[in-house]
């Protein structure tokens, strides 16, 4: 999934049983004493992760033929949301019991952070192709997943930052935190911000991960990753993401964690679209007159001339233009017209 490739082994879900919820001490040569899921054990995270990826594996049914169908993606995403809402208390975001007890449950807290990051990452990967055309819920799903991705990590860190940084478990968790930071840095380059998640907040999360990674000798992959994250932050500051050479070098460096080379290249190319939109906005402010109206859309959305501060106060028109730029010319009318085509004269 990290490389946007169909898994080689694709057994039917019902053929692979879930592990029992137990600790090592619960097993002997003759039997396994399983615990209820409300009791955190050594295998709890494995069970919840397996349940999640039983759902995600549906992405590759029929060789991935349905990946371009938003309705199919949305159905999978809703299954994931239903599953995570049923997770035991220690793996639920915002659970009062988790906030109260997890600081003393070190292993479970680390498992929660890793499980949560992996689910958020995959939700973003499968919704990202629909992001700029604002198809369905894709925008809000990506925005919320980005904002919450490092939440368990941050909560665990804030409860005792020195203990967190000295933990040997970070050697395992470090790479997962790095992949989350890469996703946030890519959003920072292309989206700049999300509603409720400013560029400054996004940058602070990335800097937090960098500062943690720098304290551990995890290996060359992560040490190179720190350089990549700093490069992405530097590109954001200097607005170099639109430079084709810089962008292509970044594609090669992050493709293995971002979702494959082609999806990474397609996504970062949106930096060029942002430049075009900025140019169009500047030109539009110099023109005197109204733009043509489109049937089915409110006139206030279509007419930026009604306010010289329109682009600063309402991003809807930019979103509308951006959606058009993401479509082929022969798809424009399908997107612009409400269902049923042009309204009749008598309507």
Structure pTM?
Answer: 0.74
What is residue 35's predicted lDDT score, i.e. its pLDDT? 94
| Residue 90: both structure tokens together | 């220690």
Structure tokens at 165: 């940084």
Residue with tokens 């279509």: 302
What whole-number distance in Å separates Cα of residue 135 and Cα of residue 70?
8
Q: What is the largest CA-CA distance in the chain?
A: 84
Instruction: Please name the residue ranges forming H helices in the chain.
Output: 44-56, 70-85, 96-101, 106-127, 138-148, 151-159, 161-166, 170-190, 199-213, 220-238, 244-258, 261-268, 270-286, 299-302, 310-313, 316-325, 332-336
Cα dihedral sign, 273-277-278-282: positive
Contact 268, 250 (CB under 8 A): yes
pLDDT in the model for residue 180: 94
pLDDT tens over the chain, length 347 residues: 676 677 777 666 667 788 899 999 999 988 999 999 999 999 999 999 999 998 998 998 887 788 889 999 999 999 999 999 999 999 998 888 777 776 666 788 889 999 999 999 999 999 998 988 888 889 899 999 999 999 999 988 888 888 888 888 887 778 889 999 999 999 998 888 888 888 899 999 999 999 998 887 666 777 788 999 999 999 888 876 667 788 888 888 898 888 888 888 888 887 765 444 453 444 344 433 333 333 333 443 333 333 333 333 333 344 444 444 444 444 444 444 444 444 444 44
Residues 159-173 as b or e (16 or more Cβ within 10 Å = b): eeeeebeebeebeeb
Alpha helix (H) ranges present in 16-105? Answer: 44-56, 70-85, 96-101
Q: How far apart are CA 61 and CA 139, in angstroms?
A: 24
Q: State the angle between helix axes of 106-127 and 44-56 in degrees (0 to 180), rounded to the nearest 10.
A: 10
DSSP state of 36: P
| pLDDT for the residue 11 | 66
pLDDT, residue 13, reads: 62
CA distance 159 to 100: 11
How far is CA 50 from its chain centroid? 20
pLDDT at residue 322, rounded to an integer: 40
Are 108 and 117 in contact by the 8 Å Cβ rule? The answer is no
Q: What is the DSSP letter of 24?
A: G
């Amino acid at each position: 999934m990290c490389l946007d490739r169909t898994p080689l082994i694709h057994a039917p879900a019902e053929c692979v049983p879930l592990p029992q919820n137990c600790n090592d001490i619960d097993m002997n040569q003759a039997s396994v004493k399983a615990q209820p899921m409300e009791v955190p054990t050594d295998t709890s995270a494995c069970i919840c992760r397996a349940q999640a990826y039983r759902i995600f594996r549906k992405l590759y049914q029929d060789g991935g033929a349905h990946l371009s169908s938003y309705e199919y993606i949305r159905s999978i995403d809703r299954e994931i949301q239903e599953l995570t809402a049923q997770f035991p208390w220690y793996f639920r975001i915002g659970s009062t019991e988790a906030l109260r007890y997890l600081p003393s449950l070190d292993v479970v807290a680390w498992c929660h952070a890793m499980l949560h990051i992996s689910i958020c990452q995959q939700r973003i990967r499968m919704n990202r192709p629909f992001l700029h055309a604002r198809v369905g819920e894709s925008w809000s799903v990506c925005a919320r997943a980005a904002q919450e991705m490092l939440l368990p990590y941050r909560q665990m860190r804030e409860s005792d930052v020195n203990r967190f940084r000295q933990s040997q478990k970070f050697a395992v968790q470090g790479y997962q935190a790095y992949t989350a930071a890469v996703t946030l840095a890519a959003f920072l380059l292309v989206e700049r911000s999300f509603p409720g998640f400013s560029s400054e907040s996004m940058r602070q999360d990335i800097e937090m991960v960098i500062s943690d990674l720098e304290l551990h000798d995890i290996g060359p992959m992560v040490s190179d990753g720190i350089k990549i994250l700093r490069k992405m932050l530097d590109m954001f500051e200097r607005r170099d993401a639109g430079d084709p050479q810089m962008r292509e070098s970044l594609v090669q460096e992050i493709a293995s964690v971002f979702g494959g080379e082609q999806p990474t290249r397609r996504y970062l190319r949106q930096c060029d679209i942002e430049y075009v939109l900025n140019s169009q906005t500047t030109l539009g402010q110099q023109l005197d007159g109204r733009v043509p109206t489109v049937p089915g859309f409110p006139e206030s959305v279509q007419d930026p001339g009604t306010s010289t501060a329109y682009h600063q106060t309402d991003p809807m028109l930019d979103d509308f233009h951006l959606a058009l730029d993401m479509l082929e010319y022969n798809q424009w009318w399908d997107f612009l017209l409400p269902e049923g085509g042009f309204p009749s004269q008598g309507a």
